[in-house]
Structure 1
Amino acid sequence: MNNSPDKKENLSASKQVLLALKEAKNRIEALEYTKTEPIAVVGMACRFPGGADSPQKLWQLLSDGVDAIREIPPKRWNVDNYYDPNPETPGKMYTRSGGFLQEDIDQFDPLFFSISEREAISIDPQHRLLLEVSWEALENAGYIPHRLHNSLTGVFVGITNCEYQVITGQARESNVAPYRITGLPLNAAAGRLSYTLGLTGPSMAIDTACSSSLVAIHQACQSLRSQECHMALAGGVNLWLLPEPL
């Protein structure tokens, strides 16, 4: 005697309809679950004004109510050449202060990331900072970055400014460097990170002005829930290198 369930084709029309409805319901429930499934933040790293170069230091800075605004460092530009207290003065800025990183943003170890010194000169400091902080975030999460090679990991970067392109354009040698096309565009910020770590998930640079980082994190969550990637690096970077925006 065969006690196995009837095959679908042997069921009556009404039972086939009920079975199809049940299968459709299961698929819908699975889809709805993926839309609301909790996403774990397993690692973080950062660079913020006030010497907050780790999440722990950032929390401490906020807890202590530290004012991280300081006078514009001379390594960025000579503030005396541009400052005027009158906001109506053309070609001048009426502030001497801002939120700036304490460490020198031109310091970078290219060989650590298998990048030549010649190429590193043409890489936007924002891209370099992303490489360093992303590496720290992975270590903070307990991952060995090299072991993510060929993994379905996505990269979502919020980035808006491209002032380094103006700076290098003023230097003749950098202006003709073959690495400008991969070192300066905003889209290269995410692509370089994916390439360096060998990641195969979605990779995109997002510019929505002040909300760029927030939108990047949102896109990462959407990609995870739609199973386009199994893990994601998401965040943003913003460096003021020229006085004009101020």
Structure 2
Amino acid sequence: MADFLDRISGLDKRQLVLLANRLKTNLESECARQHAPIAITSMACRFPKARDVDEFWQLLQSGSHATGVVPESRWKIGEFFDSDVGKPGKMYCDHGAFLDDIDQFDPAFFGISPQEARRMDPQQRLLLETAWQAIENGGLADRIGGSRTGVFVGISQSTYAGGMSVGRPDEIDVYSGAGNMCSTAAGRISHIFGLRGPCIPVDTACSSSLVALHLAIQSLRHNECEMALVAGVNLTLAPELSVYFCRLGLLSPTGRCRSFSADADGYVRGEGCGAVLLRRLSDAQKDHAPIVAVIRGSAVNHDGRGSGLTIPNGKAQVEVIQSALADASLDPNEIDFLEGQGTATALGDSIELQSICSTYVKQRQSGSPLLLGSVKSNIGHLETASGMASLIKCCLCLQHKTL
């Protein structure tokens, strides 16, 4: 600082004005970079009863739900189901929202051998297919290879017994490890498509794909990549987590997710994969790229010490909402629609509604309603992919100008 003062002490008034203007310009440029809007240029999905974004919109428009009894292709529900809520080792919820034909995969298309494909967690296969659809939908199939495109994937642990040959260690081969590591799920996308930007798997439970989205936004704003592919995936291949969630009392005994409803009694687990391609808005406009929607801001935080590890913290929710609004330079009164978490649990929905009211409703002008929804009522809780489902729903609402 002293050196800087010494250097400017000899400047005349005109030179000082020029220096001040230059510093102001640099500061404004840096501020604009840190808050640069991000364009969604393409999206793809595979959700329960919806093989692509068009079918997903049809499902949403119809107001129907995609839940049903656990299919035999997942596990033998009769061995685990018991209507007694407190029965150890059992689940009182025998419903979920499931994908069809998750065993169908064309490894040759991606240059993967049949043996390697058999060892791959179906979540990795689904990610490859959905990522490719997003790339194709964005018109980038022939030119994304070699680009500084980042990959950010929301994914949790693998429950694919066939991948690591559970109980059959003699069958473990050279593909078993990479086929079931979460770190490889993102890396495989970069490898297959020749993408040279950051490559990051994210596991923050239900917020995984939205945290992945936030990291992608920051990476674009800091010029670490020129494009970003963000995805989230979730498959329920084994019963253990469902048994655990039943022990916590989170799942619905009636097999439906009724977000923000007086009839809500928990959620049902859902499967799916969603992906979006991101670019800096200025770059997308310069290249005349298709623009699905624009992300103005995002924020991430943690509850910190609260009532319990898995209990939401309303104060922290208010803080992260305020941070996101500040990043987007938006006032709460400018928000007309909010896609909520809406897990349909008594505690979770109550705390979330209080946070929403504190942030958006308390100072809201009369005659300016805030519409609230949650896609979980249609396709269940997709856990690590739930954020992508919510984001793609919002994009479709904007595209079709319908809520």
TM above 0.5: yes
Matches within 5 A, 1:91-240: 91-101=89-99, 103-144=100-141, 146-164=142-160, 168-170=164-166, 172=168, 175-240=171-236
Q: Which has the larger radius of gyration?
A: 1
Structure 1: tracts of 5 or more residues without a match = 1-10
Structure 1 CA distance for aligned equivalents of residues 149 and 189 of structure 2: 11
Deviates more, 1:191-200 or 1:161-170: 161-170
Structure 2: tracts of 5 or more residues without a match = 1-9, 243-403
Question: Helix, strand or coil for the counterpart of 1:160?
Answer: coil
Shift in Å, 1:176: 1.8
Alpha carbons of 1:62 and 1:14: their partners in 2 closer, same or farther (altered >3 Å)?
same
Partner of residue 241, structure 2: 245
Alpha carbons of 1:167 and 1:118: their partners in 2 closer, same or farther (altered >3 Å)?
closer
Shift in Å, 1:20: 2.7
Structure 2 CA distance for aligned equivalents of residues 133 and 105 of structure 1: 12
State the identity as a percent: 46
Shift in Å, 1:91: 1.0
Structure 2 CA distance for aligned equivalents of residues 76 and 46 of structure 1: 21
8 Å Cα contact 2:70/2:77 also seen in 1:
yes
Shift in Å, 1:142: 1.5
Partner of residue 307, structure 2: none
8 Å Cα contact 2:116/2:175 also seen in 1:
yes
RMSD of the TM alignment (CA)?
Answer: 1.9
Partner of residue 3, structure 1: none
Question: Helix, strand or coil for the counterpart of 2:37?
Answer: coil
Structure 1 CA distance for aligned equivalents of residues 18 and 161 of structure 2: 61
TM-score if structure 2 supplies the norm length?
0.55
Structure 2 CA distance for aligned equivalents of residues 166 and 150 of structure 1: 33
* More contact order relative to length (CA 8 Å, sep ≥ 6): 2
Alpha carbons of 1:173 and 1:75: their partners in 2 closer, same or farther (altered >3 Å)?
same
Shift in Å, 1:54: 1.1
8 Å Cα contact 1:72/1:97 also seen in 2:
yes
Question: Could you report, residue by residue, the CA deviation over 1:43-70 in whole angstroms, capped at 9, with x for unpaired residues?
Answer: 1110111x21111211211111111111
Alpha carbons of 1:87 and 1:78: their partners in 2 closer, same or farther (altered >3 Å)?
same
Partner of residue 33, structure 1: 32
Alpha carbons of 1:63 and 1:12: their partners in 2 closer, same or farther (altered >3 Å)?
same
